[in-house]
Amino acid sequence: MRLDKYLSDACIISRTRAVSAIRSGRVSVDGKTATKGDMKINENKAAVTLDGKPLSYSEFIYILMNKPAGVVSATDDLREKTVLSLLPENYATKGLFPAGRLDKDTVGLLVLTNDGKNAHRLLSPKHHVEKEYYVECDGDFEEGDIEVCLKGVTLDGELTKPCILKIDPQNKNCARMILTEGKYHEIKRICGYLGKKVTFLERVRFGALVLDPSLSRGQWRHMTNDEIALLDRKEC
Ligand code: URA
């Protein structure tokens, strides 16, 4: 791999800035100051530093975001603010997209990545990754709703896959709902079928990855390799 590409990917900076950092002598490879952006390195073995700080390379970016309300989970939108606009400008050229959609008013766990193949696989209906939501409604859930959700409900002629409903015994208008698919507005439409309107919706888990409580709404961070692996586990 070319050194300028390595630096651009590892530091999430443009190629131009990467070349400029190399030309200014700020980058070293295996202990020697590098001078040329087109220098070839082995990204898995080379010890690369920028301003003396060691860098590590990963092919893809994975971001964990606590999505706030009021932004859409899309890469671009003519009218609405997108989740990508919450990231610094230098992330704009990295090909990131949200892995799955949350409605504009839904908050919580959202993964952004540029690993298209893996995201596509994880989101495929065949993969059955569990997605868990905390739901508040304008009316109480009833015990009978549990069975209805499990059997599936018909929405616009399509039967939903079994949905696990766990009603909060203290606040019966609040519940956890676990889906293994992602139909359009699925939680809101299931609750609508049950005669209730969703007043608050938060995704709290994707596969075995749970929302990081230290991230406040709108905050994000890079995911660790262990967390990326957790996405692959279908359940908690
Ligand atoms: N179900 C919904 O209705 N909305 C979401 O954002 C996610 C699941």
Q: Is the pLDDT of residue 87 over 80?
A: yes
Other beta carbons within 10 angstroms of residue 31's beta carbon come to: 7
pLDDT value at residue 173: 98
The catalytic position among 4, 30, 103, 115 is 103
Give residue 67's pLDDT band: very low, low, confident or very high (50, 70, 90). Answer: very high
Q: Can you tell me which atom of ligand 1 is nearest the CA of 101?
A: 6
Taking residues 11-40, what's their average pLDDT?
96
Give me the numbers of helices (H) and strands (E) for the chain, helices first please.
Answer: 6, 15
The binding-site residues of ligand 1, defined as CB within 6 angstroms of any ligand atom, are 102-103, 106, 185-188, 201
Q: State the DSSP string of 2-44.
A: BHHHHHHHHHT--HHHHHHHHHTT-EEETTEE---TT-B--TT
The whole-chain average pLDDT of the chain stands at: 95
pLDDT value at residue 234: 77
pLDDT value at residue 123: 86
**How many angstroms does the Cα of residue 234 sit away from the middle of ligand 1?**
19
Q: How far is CA 94 from CA 48, 218, 224, in A?
A: 21, 20, 18
Which domains are seen in the chain, by residue range? 3-54 (3.10.290.10), 62-125+211-230 (3.30.70.580), 130-206 (3.30.70.1560)
Task: Tell me the C-alpha distance between 118 and 138, whole Å.
Answer: 37
Taking residues 21-33, what's their average pLDDT?
98
Q: Please give the DSSP secondary-structure letter assigned to residue 114.
A: S
Among 187, 198, 205, 211, name the best residue to mutate to test ligand 1's pocket (greatest count of ligand atoms within 8 A of Cβ): 187
Q: Is the pLDDT of residue 215 over 80?
A: yes
Count CA within 13 A, CB hemisphere, residue 96: 27
Minimal-distance CA residue to ligand 1 atom 7 = 102
Residue with tokens 């406040």: 216
Q: Is the pLDDT of residue 95 over 80?
A: yes
Taking residues 207-213, what's their average pLDDT?
95
- Triad 166, 171, 173: Cα angle to 5°: 70
Is 103 one of the annotated active-site residues of the chain? yes
Give residue 59's pLDDT band: very low, low, confident or very high (50, 70, 90). Answer: confident
Give residue 93's pLDDT band: very low, low, confident or very high (50, 70, 90). Answer: confident
pLDDT in tens, 124-160: 878 889 999 999 999 999 999 999 999 999 999 999 9
Query: Chain-centre distance of CA 27, in angstroms?
Result: 32
**How many angstroms does the Cα of residue 135 sit away from the middle of ligand 1?**
10
Pick the closest to residue 100 from 111, 89, 108, 90 (CA basis): 111
Give residue 235's pLDDT band: very low, low, confident or very high (50, 70, 90). Answer: confident
Q: Please give the DSSP secondary-structure letter assigned to residue 161.
A: P
Other beta carbons within 10 angstroms of residue 212's beta carbon come to: 16
Give residue 236's pLDDT band: very low, low, confident or very high (50, 70, 90). Answer: confident
Reduce the DSSP state of residue 132 to 3 states and report it. Answer: strand
Q: Is the pLDDT of residue 15 over 80?
A: yes
Task: Tell me the C-alpha distance between 67 and 2, whole Å.
Answer: 35
Q: Please give the DSSP secondary-structure letter assigned to residue 90.
A: G
**How many angstroms does the Cα of residue 186 sit away from the middle of ligand 1?**
5
Q: Please give the DSSP secondary-structure letter assigned to residue 82.
A: B
What element of type H or E holds 206? strand 198-206
Cα-Cα end-to-end distance for the chain: 37
